[in-house]
Structure 1
Amino acid sequence: MGKKNAGWDSRKGGEESKTDRDSETKSGSFMHRTQRPTLETSESSKDSTLQTKEISPEADAVAAADGLKTSSRRDVPEDDEDGHLNYHAGLLMKQRYQVVSTLGAGAFGKVVECIDRQTDERVAVKIGKKLESFCEVARSEISVLEEMNSLDDDNRFACVRMLDWFQHEGHVCIVLELLGRSTFDFLPFSVQQIRLVAFQVFRAVSFLHRNKVTHTDLKPENILFVRSDCDPDRNHQTKSPSSWSVKVVDFGSATFDHQHHQSLVSTRHYRAPEVILGLGWDQSCDVWSLGCVLMEYYLGRTLFPSHDSREHLAMMEKVLGPVPPGLLKRARNQHLVKNWDGPSSSDKLIRSHCQPLKTYMRTSGEDERQLFELLAVMLEYDVSRRITLEEALWHRFFNPLRNKRSSANS
């Protein structure tokens, strides 16, 4: 997972905080999962994850050499009032993972950087809250990551790798590869940079879709750079990661096709119209979310900075044109469309933040035209007409990268 402040910060500029936005979809939303692992399904975890053991003198000596304080079960404080594990630098979990620092926090729990004492490598450990609904989310994430990692043995697709999982003091903990900062921290991007990131993310999420999984919570904070040390040739005002390799993270909301589909998914700003209208959803909701993500990369701000569903629909109409009447007629959430007359001309927020999609183009260059051509078919109201990610990967916007891959393989 990401390094400090990578993908766990609150939003700036009056938008919803990450914690606020996550709580919309994650708190208590996964009680109807039909499949989830139990805490006995991982052979690597059976022997030592169901109880917290005393820290050995050897571990104390190792930690002392690193300048870290260790603790045993008897001096670990109680959880805080929100259900987070109280911990400190030097805490040893599973007699293996020693806490170094906090990477971030969210509605689900906290992420800490640890030293893996078996391999001497740095890892990220996602520590869920000790509440049953959050344990359900963690078990679901483990199930998805086990499946995806096993199907991608050679790490060809840009999904975060799960290395281990265990239970500590009643908290489900997921050990993940340590990644860099989130793409949100480096906004905005050039069109060429958008192409590099989008191609990797589209391949990763298309891989999920082929294996009957929908991510449901795609946003810049959940796309992390593999490394995010800044290019030394750039100053602070134009900071840029030294490598543009990225990975998709946070599979706590991911849903298999056969599982129960919650009616409300995705963080608000990236929520597809079919979700808002209560029409049901499928993998195409990820395509809509990624369309919003790409526009955020381009603009440096969210495309739809809405505060409620009715305002959100009004913003969509300002940017994309009228919602098809057939969708409004079939909407289960009729309170949103009753007496619907579209965006109000007096709505200052909509007028100041939203404009027709193509008017956002800064230049008339071919690359830019291709990007907005792709965005238009990703941000299509009707899911039957919305492009799939498999199709999107063959869009001409990605021709330079496909040609480069073909040359490298020839």
Structure 2
Amino acid sequence: MGKKDSEYGSWRDGDDPKLVSDRKTESFSEHSPCSSPEAYELPEEKSSLQLQSAFPGDNVDDGGEKTNLKEKSREDDGEGHLNYHMGLVMKDRYEVVLTLGGGAFAEVVECIDRETKERVAVKIVRNKECFREVGRSEVAVLEEINSLDDDVTFACVRMLDWFEHEGHVCIVLELLGLSTFEFLRQNHFLPFNVEQIRHMAFQIFRAVCFLHRNKLTHTDLKPENILFVCSDYDLQYNENRECKEKTLRSLDLKVVDFGTATFDHQKHESLVSTRHYRAPEVILGLGWNQSCDVWSLGCVLMEFYLGCTVFPTHDSKEHLAMMEIILGPIPPHLLKKTRKQHYVHNGHLNWDKSSTSDDYIRKHLKPLKNYMHDQSEEDFFDLLGSMLEYDVYRRITLEEALWHPFFNPLRMQKQRS
């Protein structure tokens, strides 16, 4: 029997058990409303030498589990989080039954909708004006998505309702399963196979391409913000009857967390995206557009393929050095344009190749094509190379990516059916 979705946490807005250090300092979506984003660039964060638990098999924090509110009730921490308890009814309709997750921006709880008898997720935004502003922005984006996709064609989470409760913006969303990251974690960081990635990527690309066509950039795409619709699974055992791995029964997905989604006409903050999925143009301060989502998704697909993050660092210069190991030198014309000239020396990345940090990343990273297991995966790695292109003018768009040969098997399958 597969596990029911409600047995584990699905909605994570904060801690990242992939790394020892707290990723809250890296998620722009959790800080930008109240602070200048540049403040989170300095001082530089820990290097990969201090983040060696980023690789599969290491001990990680078990932060994804739901909390049974019969055993533990939340107390107001004085930071604007709602003091809720099991059985609390909001809007005379939504009864709190479980905690799904929480972070710097919001708490997410599972509720029973007393009108429909359905279970829903309610995102309770912190009761501070800077966070309420982000909550209202997310509501506006979700209303636009609902309006533009009224027949639910694209894999974006649906907002069912929203309201205010004691000063908190509360967003009612369809209840989904585990995030792709949480499933990886619970499955011992065993990677997805290329066929699974093909099906998952096609849905994600269509959803984000839909956003881009409607002049919207997500800006925070990562495995935590891509959730399975249902994460029931079957268990596979080895010859000793020990659990070998979990196999999902369905690969249907949805993109969530539109708190920092930005329309083309809106102000573009200088710092966006969670560190490991942040595009080079953002790090270099060159400005960004919708193609930053494409870079993030390239990193996400690599994480699905490897089972671990491809850029395990919290240091901007080291991040760029890691890119050079995997993707080759950063083009000089980009380094010439950056306002962060402390990253540049004689037209090249200002990086000490005799450092212990350089030794570490050269030991753990390699050129992109060297990750390929066999020639049957050539189309996948060609697509990855097109997405992880330094120059935004050469980076593939998602519209183009959907027609890449990597997805030909899906098109042929659809034609046969």
Q: Please tell me whether residue 6 in structure 1 is matched to residue 10 in structure 2.
A: yes
Residue 21 of structure 1 corresponds to 26
C-alpha distance in 2, partners of 1:77/1:17? 21
Q: 1:110 to 1:383 in 2, by over 3 A?
A: same
Residue 133 of structure 1 corresponds to 130
Q: Is contact 1:31–1:136 with CA below 8 Å preserved after alignment?
A: no
Q: What is the CA-CA distance between 1:353 and the residue it aligns to?
A: 2.5
Q: Is contact 2:101–2:108 with CA below 8 Å preserved after alignment?
A: yes
Deviations 1:198-256 (A, max 9, x none): 00000000000000000000000000000001125567431122110000000001000
Residue 221 of structure 1 corresponds to 224
Residue 315 of structure 1 corresponds to 322
Q: What is the CA-CA distance between 1:274 and the residue it aligns to?
A: 0.4
Tell me, what secondary structure is at the counterpart of 1:124?
strand
Structure 2 unaligned segments of length 5 or more: list them: 37-68, 185-190
Matches within 5 A, 1:184-203: 184-187=181-184, 188-203=191-206
Which of 9-18 and 193-202 deviates more? 9-18
TM (normalized to structure 1)? 0.84
Residue 349 of structure 1 corresponds to 360
Q: Is contact 1:314–1:343 with CA below 8 Å preserved after alignment?
A: no
C-alpha distance in 1, partners of 2:134/2:171? 11
Residue 37 of structure 1 corresponds to none
Q: Is contact 1:291–1:378 with CA below 8 Å preserved after alignment?
A: yes
Residue 255 of structure 1 corresponds to 262
Deviations 1:76-96 (A, max 9, x none): 997322221111110000000
Residue 101 of structure 1 corresponds to 98
Q: What is the CA-CA distance between 1:133 and the residue it aligns to?
A: 1.1
Q: Runs of at least 4 residues of structure 1 off by over 4 A?
A: 232-236
Q: Is contact 2:236–2:245 with CA below 8 Å preserved after alignment?
A: no
Q: Is contact 2:236–2:246 with CA below 8 Å preserved after alignment?
A: no
Q: Is contact 1:377–1:387 with CA below 8 Å preserved after alignment?
A: yes
Tell me, what secondary structure is at the counterpart of 1:376?
helix
Counterpart selection for 2:81 from 81, 84, 106: 84
Task: Write the letter of the residue equivalent to 2:390.
Answer: Y
Residue 211 of structure 1 corresponds to 214
Q: Please tell me whether residue 144 in structure 1 is matched to residue 144 in structure 2.
A: no
C-alpha distance in 2, partners of 1:25/1:308? 18
Q: Please tell me whether residue 325 in structure 1 is matched to residue 332 in structure 2.
A: yes
C-alpha distance in 2, partners of 1:283/1:77? 38
Deviations 1:320-339 (A, max 9, x none): 00000000000022222246
Q: Is contact 1:186–1:240 with CA below 8 Å preserved after alignment?
A: no
Q: What is the CA-CA distance between 1:108 and the residue it aligns to?
A: 1.0
Tell me, what secondary structure is at the counterpart of 1:238?
strand
C-alpha distance in 1, partners of 2:163/2:140? 13
Residue 63 of structure 1 corresponds to none
Q: Is contact 1:125–1:175 with CA below 8 Å preserved after alignment?
A: yes
Task: Write the letter of the residue equivalent to 2:395.
Answer: R
Q: 1:241 to 1:132 in 2, by over 3 A?
A: same
Tell me, what secondary structure is at the counterpart of 1:112?
strand
Q: 1:122 to 1:25 in 2, by over 3 A?
A: closer
Residue 188 of structure 2 corresponds to none
**Structure number with larger C-alpha Rg:** 1
C-alpha distance in 2, partners of 1:7/1:96? 21
Q: Is contact 2:122–2:173 with CA below 8 Å preserved after alignment?
A: yes
Structure 1 unaligned segments of length 5 or more: list them: 33-67, 70-75
Matches within 5 A, 1:9-408: 10-12=15-17, 14-22=19-27, 24-29=28-33, 79-187=76-184, 188-232=191-235, 236-338=243-345, 340-342=349-351, 344-346=353-355, 347=357, 348-364=359-375, 366=376, 368-408=377-417
C-alpha distance in 2, partners of 1:240/1:404? 22
Deviations 1:144-174 (A, max 9, x none): 1100111101111000000000001101000
Tell me, what secondary structure is at the counterpart of 1:239?
strand
Residue 45 of structure 1 corresponds to none
Q: 1:111 to 1:13 in 2, by over 3 A?
A: closer
Identity across matched positions, percent: 64
Q: RCO (CA 8 Å, sep 6+): is it higher in 1 or 2?
A: 2
Task: Write the letter of the residue equivalent to 2:221.
Answer: L
Q: 1:401 to 1:345 in 2, by over 3 A?
A: farther
Deviations 1:64-84 (A, max 9, x none): xxxx99xxxxxx997322221
Deviations 1:108-144 (A, max 9, x none): 1110000000000000000001111111111111111
Q: 1:223 to 1:16 in 2, by over 3 A?
A: farther
Task: Write the letter of the residue equivalent to 1:177.
Answer: E
Q: What is the CA-CA distance between 1:342 and the residue it aligns to?
A: 4.1
C-alpha distance in 2, partners of 1:255/1:387? 20
Q: Is contact 2:15–2:103 with CA below 8 Å preserved after alignment?
A: no
Q: What is the CA-CA distance between 1:341 and the residue it aligns to?
A: 3.9
C-alpha distance in 1, partners of 2:20/2:416? 44
Q: 1:113 to 1:85 in 2, by over 3 A?
A: same
Task: Write the letter of the residue equivalent to 2:9.
Answer: N
C-alpha distance in 2, partners of 1:310/1:77? 40
Q: 1:25 to 1:13 in 2, by over 3 A?
A: closer
Q: Say how many residue pairs are matched.
A: 364
C-alpha distance in 2, partners of 1:117/1:18? 36
C-alpha distance in 2, partners of 1:381/1:243? 34
Which of 267-276 and 101-110 deviates more? 101-110
Task: Write the letter of the residue equivalent to 2:19.
Answer: G
Q: Is contact 2:226–2:256 with CA below 8 Å preserved after alignment?
A: yes
Q: What's the C-alpha RMSD, in Å, of the aligned pairs?
A: 2.2
Task: Write the letter of the residue equivalent to 1:231.
Answer: D
Q: 1:77 to 1:374 in 2, by over 3 A?
A: closer
